[in-house]
Amino acid sequence: MDCIRIRGGQPLRGRVEIDGAKNAALPLMAASLLTDQPVTLARYPELGDTRSMLALLRRLGVEVTPAGPCSRSLALVTRRVASTTADYDLVRRMRASVLVLGPLLVRSGQAEISLPGGCAIGTRPIDLHLRALADLGAVIDLEGGYVRARAPRQGLRGARIRFAQVSVGATENALMAAVLARGETRIENAAREPEVADLAQCLTAMGAGIEGIGTSTLQVQGDTAFRPASHRILGDRIEAGSYAAGALITGGRIELAGAPADAMTATLDVLRSVGARIELSPDAVVVGRSGALTATEVETGVYPAFPTDMQAQLMAVLCLAGGRSRIVENIFENRFMHVSELVRMGARIRVRGRAAEIDGVRKLLAAPVMATDLRASLSLVLAALAAEGESVIRRVYHLDRGYSRLEAKLQAVGATIRRAAEDGET
Residues labelled catalytic: 119
- Please give the backbone phi and psi of residue 405, each rounded to the nearest 5 degrees, phi first: 45, 45
- Does position 332 interact with ligand UD1 (CB under 6 A)? The reply is yes
Can you tell me the distance from the alpha carbon of 259 to that of 50, in angstroms, rounded to the nearest whole number?
Answer: 19
Smallest distance, Å, CB 289 to ligand UD1? 27
Q: Least Å distance between CB 375 and ligand UD1? A: 8
- Closest approach of ligand UD1 to the CB of residue 99, in Å: 7
Identify which of residues 239 and 255 has a Cβ nearer to ligand UD1 in the complex. 239
Nearer to ligand UD1, 224 or 311 (CB): 311
Q: Does 224 bind ligand UD1 (CB under 6 A)?
A: no
Binding mask 185-204 for ligand UD1 (x = CB under 6 A): ------x---x---------
Rounded least distance, CB 142 to ligand UD1, Å: 14
Q: How far is the CB of 308 from ligand UD1 (least distance, A)?
A: 5
Query: Least distance (Å) from ligand UD1 to the CB of residue 258?
Result: 19
Compare residues 329 and 341 and give the one whose CB is closer to ligand UD1.
329
Give me the least distance between CB of 168 and ligand UD1, in Å please. 4
Q: Which is nearer to ligand UD1, 19 or 195 (CB)?
A: 195
Q: Which one of residues 73, 185, 242, 308 is an interface residue with ligand UD1 (CB under 6 A)?
A: 308
Strands 276-281 and 253-257: unpaired
* Site for ligand UD1, residues 111 to 150, rule: CB under 6 A: 122, 124-129
Q: Which of 41, 53, 168, 259 binds ligand UD1 (CB under 6 A)?
A: 168
Comparison of 378 and 415: residue with beta carbon closer to ligand UD1: 378
Query: Quick one: 81 or 126, whose CB is closer to ligand UD1?
Result: 126
How long is the chain?
426
Residue 373 near ligand UD1 by CB under 6 A: no
Burial class for 186, CB neighbours closer than 10 Å (0-12, 13-18, 19+):
middle
**Nearest distance from residue 309's CB to ligand UD1, in Å?**
5
Q: Is 167 in the site for ligand UD1 (CB under 6 A)?
A: yes
91 in contact with ligand UD1 (CB under 6 A): no
> Considering the rule CB under 6 A, would residue 165 count as an interface residue with ligand UD1?
yes
Does 96 participate in binding ligand UD1 (rule CB under 6 A)? yes
Does 331 contact ligand UD1 by CB under 6 A?
Answer: yes
Contacts of 252 (CB under 8 A, 6+ apart): 10, 11, 12, 13, 246, 288, 289, 413, 414
Q: Which is nearer to ligand UD1, 66 or 304 (CB)?
A: 304
Question: Should residue 25 be labelled a site residue for ligand UD1 when binding is judged by CB under 6 A?
Answer: no
271 is a contact residue toward ligand UD1 (CB under 6 A): no
- Calculated CA dihedral for residues 240, 339, 318, 328, nearest 10 degrees: 90
Instruction: Give the Cα separation of 257 and 285 in Å (integer).
Output: 7
Cβ distance to ligand UD1 smaller for residue 202 or 417: 202
Q: According to the binding rule CB under 6 A, does residue 53 interact with ligand UD1? A: no
Residue 169 binds ligand UD1, judged by CB under 6 A = yes
Interface with ligand UD1 (CB under 6 A): 23, 26, 96, 122, 124-129, 165, 167-170, 191, 195, 308-309, 331-332
